[in-house]
C-alpha cells in the first residue's frame, strides 16, 4: 500500500481500489515522492509527516476509517509539537531550527528589539532541513510569546505554528525582494516601533497582535510584479479588485483565508474575529504606496493640531497604520550593509519585471528598465520623495527618540553614499564617451570629481 499524493487542497489519496481516505491539511503541505519518502513542496513545512507509516498499515485493519487516519496524523503532529514545547530539540528531520545554529538563533532573538538586527543572518541561522530559511515562523512564535499574546488570547501553540507556516510558505521564495525574509524584516521593525514609549503606553494586546500579524502577512503571495503590470496584462486579480489596491486586497484576503483555514481564532466570539479581520484589512491596505500622500496629509494634520488621542481606538489604529507603512519601507533607514542588500534585491525584482515586459512587447514600467534606471538613482528618488517625508513625521510623533534619530541618521548617510555612487557612475559614463584617449590633466580632473 502506498500514498500516491498529498494535494495542496488537503486530500490524501490512497491507491486501494476500495478505499480513498481524505484528510484535511493540518500543519503545512507535502507531497509524497514514490513509495519511500516525502518531498516537501513548500518551504519551512513542519513538522515532518512520515507517510511511510501509512504505507505499512492496512487500511482495512487498524485504520480502516477516515477518522482513524486523521487521528494518526493528528497524533503525530501533536507528539512532535509537544516535544518542542517541552524544550526537546527534535532529531533527524523533525527540526524547527537546525541544531547546529539553534544557539546562535536564540542569541539573536534575545536582541530582536535592536535596530541593527540582521534579518539575513537570522534567516540563515533558522535553516530547517531541506528549506532555505524559517525566519518568519521562528520570529513570530518568539514575538507572540514575548508580548504575552499566546496567554492573553488563549492561543493553541500547534495551531499558531500551523498558521505561521502557511503564511511563510505562501510567500514566493524566488522573489528577490517580496519574500518571507522581507516579511520577517518588516515584522522585526514593527516590533521595534510597538515598543516606542509614545505608542507602547496605550497599546492593547489586540493592537499588538494586529500589528504583528499585519506585518507578517502584508505581502503574502506577492507575485513579484506591481499593480500596473497586473492591470495592463488584464490579470484576474486586477479584474477581481477593480484595479484598486489590487495586491494589497489580495494579501489581505489571502491572510483571512489562512486564518479561517487554520482556525487560529476559532475559539473567540464571532464578532471579535470579524473585527480582527476588518482591522487586518485596514492595516494591510494602508501599505499601498499610491495612498502615501493621503496618510502623510492626515498625519501632518494630527501632529500640527496636536489632536492625536491614543486613548481612542481609532487614533491608535491610525498610528498602527503609520507604523506598518514605516516598517514596510524602512530599508533605507537600516545599516548600510543591510540597506544596500535590500536596495539591490528590490531593483533586481524591478528589472525582472522590465525584462518580462520587454519580452512581451509591453511598455516598460518606470524604474524597471535596467539600461536607464540605475540602483543609485532609484534609491535616491525613493528616499527623497517617499521615505524621508514619512520618517520625519514619525520622528515628530515619537518625540525624537533614540530609535527615530538612529533611523534618520542612517537614512541621511545611506542617501549620501548612493549619491556618491551615482556621481561615480556619471563620471565613468563621461569618460567612456570620450574617444578613448584621456590626457593627464583630464584624468586628474576625473579623479578629483570622483572624490566624495
CB atoms closer than 10 angstroms to residue 4: 12
Q: What is the mean pLDDT of residues 365-381?
A: 97
> Binding site annotation covers 178?
yes
Residue 326 and residue 218 in contact, taking contact as beta carbons nearer than 8 Å: no
Per-residue pLDDT at 393: 98
Residue with the bigger pLDDT between 284 and 97: it is: 284
Report CA Rg, the chain. 25
- The verdict on whether 178 is a catalytic residue reads yes
Per-residue pLDDT at 105: 86
Residue 130 and residue 40 in contact, taking contact as beta carbons nearer than 8 Å: yes
Three-state DSSP class for residue 37: strand
- pLDDT tops 70 at residue 32: no
Tell me how many degrees the CA angle 21-25-31 measures, rounded to the nearest 5. Answer: 80
Residue 3 and residue 13 in contact, taking contact as beta carbons nearer than 8 Å: yes
Q: At what angle do helices 157-169 and 246-262 cross, to 10 degrees?
A: 150
Residue 136 and residue 166 in contact, taking contact as beta carbons nearer than 8 Å: no
Q: What is the mean pLDDT of residues 308-332?
A: 98
Min mean pLDDT across 163-167, 379-383, 436-440 is at 436-440
Per-residue pLDDT at 65: 41
Question: What are the residue ranges of helices labelled H in 224-265?
Answer: 227-232, 236-240, 246-262
* Separation between Cα atoms, residue 260 and residue 243, nearest integer Å: 26
Report the candidate in 333, 340, 299 with the shortest Cα–Cα distance to residue 408.
Answer: 333
> Binding site annotation covers 218?
yes
For the entire predicted model, the pTM comes to 0.76
Burial of 212 (0-12, 13-18, 19+ CB in 10 A): buried
Report the candidate in 262, 298, 255, 312 with the shortest Cα–Cα distance to residue 278.
Answer: 255
Q: What percent of the chain lies above the pLDDT cut of 90? A: 68
- pLDDT tops 80 at residue 258: yes
Cell 492496512, residue located:
58
Q: What is the mean pLDDT of residues 37-62?
A: 35
Q: What percent of the chain lies above the pLDDT cut of 70? A: 72
> Binding site annotation covers 353?
no
The full length of the chain comes to: 452
* Separation between Cα atoms, residue 252 and residue 285, nearest integer Å: 8
C-alpha cell at 266: 476559532
Per-residue pLDDT at 324: 98
Considering 80, 147, 161, 178, which one is annotated as catalytic? 178
* Separation between Cα atoms, residue 273 and residue 260, nearest integer Å: 10
- pLDDT tops 60 at residue 387: yes
Min mean pLDDT across 1-15, 113-127, 300-314 is at 1-15
> Binding site annotation covers 379?
yes
Burial of 101 (0-12, 13-18, 19+ CB in 10 A): middle
Name the pLDDT band for 84 (thresholds 50, 70, 90). Answer: very low
Between strands 3-6 and 37-39, the pairing is unpaired
Amino acid at each position: 500500500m502506498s500514498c500516491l499524493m498529498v494535494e495542496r487542497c488537503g486530500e490524501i489519496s490512497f491507491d486501494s481500489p476500495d478505499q480513498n481516505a481524505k484528510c484535511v491539511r493540518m500543519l503545512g503541505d507535502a507531497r509524497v515522492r514514490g513509495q519511500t519518502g516525502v518531498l516537501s513542496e513548500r518551504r519551512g513545512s513542519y513538522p515532518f509527516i512520515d507517510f511511510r507509516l501509512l504505507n505499512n498499515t492496512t487500511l482495512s485493519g487498524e485504520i480502516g476509517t477516515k477518522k482513524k487516519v486523521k487521528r494518526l496524523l493528528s497524533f503525530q503532529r501533536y507528539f512532535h509539537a509537544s516535544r518542542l514545547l517541552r524544550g526537546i530539540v527534535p532529531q533527524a528531520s523533525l527540526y524547527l531550527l537546525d541544531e547546529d545554529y539553534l544557539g546562535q538563533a536564540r542569541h539573536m532573538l534575545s536582541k530582536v528589539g535592536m535596530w541593527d538586527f540582521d534579518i539575513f543572518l537570522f534567516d540563515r541561522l533558522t535553516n530547517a532541513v531541506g528549506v532555505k530559511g524559517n525566519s518568519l515562523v521562528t520570529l513570530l512564535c518568539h514575538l507572540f510569546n514575548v508580548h504575552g499574546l499566546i496567554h492573553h488570547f488563549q492561543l493553541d501553540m500547534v495551531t499558531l505554528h500551523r498558521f505561521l507556516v502557511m503564511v511563510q510558505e505562501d510567500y514566493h521564495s524566488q522573489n528577490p525582494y517580496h519574500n518571507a525574509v522581507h516579511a520577517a524584516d518588516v515584522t522585526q521593525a514593527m516590533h521595534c516601533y510597538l515598543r516606542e514609549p509614545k505608542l507602547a503606553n496605550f497599546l492593547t494586546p489586540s493592537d499588538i497582535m494586529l500589528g504583528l500579524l499585519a506585518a507578517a502577512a502584508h505581502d503574502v503571495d506577492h507575485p513579484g510584479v506591481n499593480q500596473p503590470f497586473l492591470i495592463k496584462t488584464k490579470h484576474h486579480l486586477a479584474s477581481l479588485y477593480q484595479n484598486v489596491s489590487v495586491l494589497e486586497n489580495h494579501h489581505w484576503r489571502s491572510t483571512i483565508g489562512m486564518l479561517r483555514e487554520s482556525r487560529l481564532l476559532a475559539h473567540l466570539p464571532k464578532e471579535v474575529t470579524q473585527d480582527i479581520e476588518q482591522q487586518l484589512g485596514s492595516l494591510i491596505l494602508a501599505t499601498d504606496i499610491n495612498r502615501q500622500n493621503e496618510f502623510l496629509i492626515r498625519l501632518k494634520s494630527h501632529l500640527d493640531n496636536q489632536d492625536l488621542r491614543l486613548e481612542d481606538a481609532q487614533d491608535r489604529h491610525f498610528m498602527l497604520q503609520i507604523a506598518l507603512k514605516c516598517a514596510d519601507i524602512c530599508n533605507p533607514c537600516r545599516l548600510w550593509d543591510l540597506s544596500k542588500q535590500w536596495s539591490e534585491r528590490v531593483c533586481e525584482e524591478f528589472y525582472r519585471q522590465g525584462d518580462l515586459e520587454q519580452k512581451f512587447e509591453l511598455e516598460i514600467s518606470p524604474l524597471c528598465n535596467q539600461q536607464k534606471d540605475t540602483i543609485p538613482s532609484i534609491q535616491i528618488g525613493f528616499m527623497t520623495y517617499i521615505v524621508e517625508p514619512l520618517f520625519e513625521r514619525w520622528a515628530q510623533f515619537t518625540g525624537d527618540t533614540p530609535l527615530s534619530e538612529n533611523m534618520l541618521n542612517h537614512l541621511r548617510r545611506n542617501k549620501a553614499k548612493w549619491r556618491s555612487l551615482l556621481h561615480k557612475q556619471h563620471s565613468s559614463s563621461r569618460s567612456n564617451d570620450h574617444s578613448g584617449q584621456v590626457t593627464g590633466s583630464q584624468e586628474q580632473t576625473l579623479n578629483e570629481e570622483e572624490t566624495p
